[in-house]
Amino acid sequence: MSSSETMARVRAVLASGSPVIVAGVGSGLTARGAASGGADVIAVYNTAVYRVRGVPTALAFLPYDDANALTLATAPEVIAAAGQVPVLLGFGAHDPRRSLDCLLDQAESLGAAGVTNEPFSGMYSKDLQAQLESAGLGFSREVELVRKAVERGMLALGWAFTSDEATRMAETGAQFIGAMVGVTAGGAAGGAALTPMDVALEKVDALAKAVRGVGTAAIVLAHGGPFNDPTSVALALGRNLAEGYVTGSTGERIPVERAVAQTIREFKSARVLATQS
């Protein structure tokens, strides 16, 4: 399916009154579940691979693994399990050993529909971001990755942490702009949101307005912070600026933790029930 065909289908979803859901996954199993649940797009990237392995996703932003190698190794199983749902590959544009064109070539050869700029430098301190940018390996290279993907006719989800970043990503022609609020709260491995709901909503609004200011038809997707269940996500969608949501831990780690725990509890009670019968 071409990017134009995918976007026509996505626009039809919006016209029906439903939000666009991009499911972030780290395995073929969770990709199959996301596809069965009706995800419009699926994305695979290194932090998702980490969370499937039970490792805190924050570690994915430290130098323990090759982020792009993790994505490329996991992509085939995700693409196979996704069926007709388009898959985006999350690439770290900052690796000077990999040209952006090479990464895009690999994505196309695997059958991916497009890319997203994850891992992103926006997770780092301002000082480190500035150093990366000065070396030509910062956010500007993420923008270039997305721009090159769009020029190839691929789908692209451009993540932004600030209004300036949202503007620059929108100018690439990316079909989706991710409004990043922060690390998602909740679940056994997560605590309270670091970003209060009112602040999170204002940030999504500001990023969406920056995108609209470019005059693009890009779809703005909320993610992170206190947006960790359908009720909280509905608050963001109800303001008519964000048109969808990107799941991460909320559509993978948290439900898996809960479902497995509940299933084990049920098996633990099986002997008691058998004795009673």
pLDDT above 50: residue 265 = yes
The whole-model pTM stands at 0.93
| For range 51-68, the mean pLDDT | 90
pLDDT interval class at 240 (50, 70, 90): confident
- Asked if residue 39 lies in contact with residue 23, where contact means CB atoms within 8 angstroms, the answer is yes
187-204 pLDDT per residue, tens = 444 444 568 899 999 999
Query: Distances from the Cα of 173 to the Cαs of 7, 95, 163, 176, 256, in angstroms?
Result: 13, 23, 16, 9, 35
> Hey, is 277 helix, strand or coil?
coil
**3-class DSSP assignment, residue 123:** helix
As a whole number of angstroms, the distance between CA 59 and CA 65 comes to 9
CATH annotation of 3-276: 3.20.20.70
Q: Taking all residues of the chain, what is their mean pLDDT, rounded to a whole number?
A: 92
Q: Which alpha helices (DSSP H) does the chain contain, by range?
A: 3-15, 28-36, 46-52, 67-82, 100-110, 126-134, 139-151, 163-170, 197-214, 230-237, 253-276
The alpha carbon of residue 276 and the mean position of all alpha carbons in its chain are separated, in whole angstroms, by 48
User: Is 80 exceeded by the pLDDT of residue 276?
Assistant: no
Domain boundaries, the chain: 3-276
What's the CA gap between 202 and 75, in Å, rounded? 34
Sign, CA dihedral 167-172-174-178, equals negative
For residue 277, is pLDDT > 90?
no
Query: 96, 137 in Cβ contact below 8 A?
Result: yes
Q: What digits encode the pLDDT tens for the residues 121-179?
A: 999 999 999 999 999 999 999 999 999 999 999 999 999 999 999 999 999 999 999 99
Q: What is the pLDDT of residue 186?
A: 58
Token pair recorded at residue 64: 């323990």
Residue with the larger pLDDT of the pair 277 and 250: 250
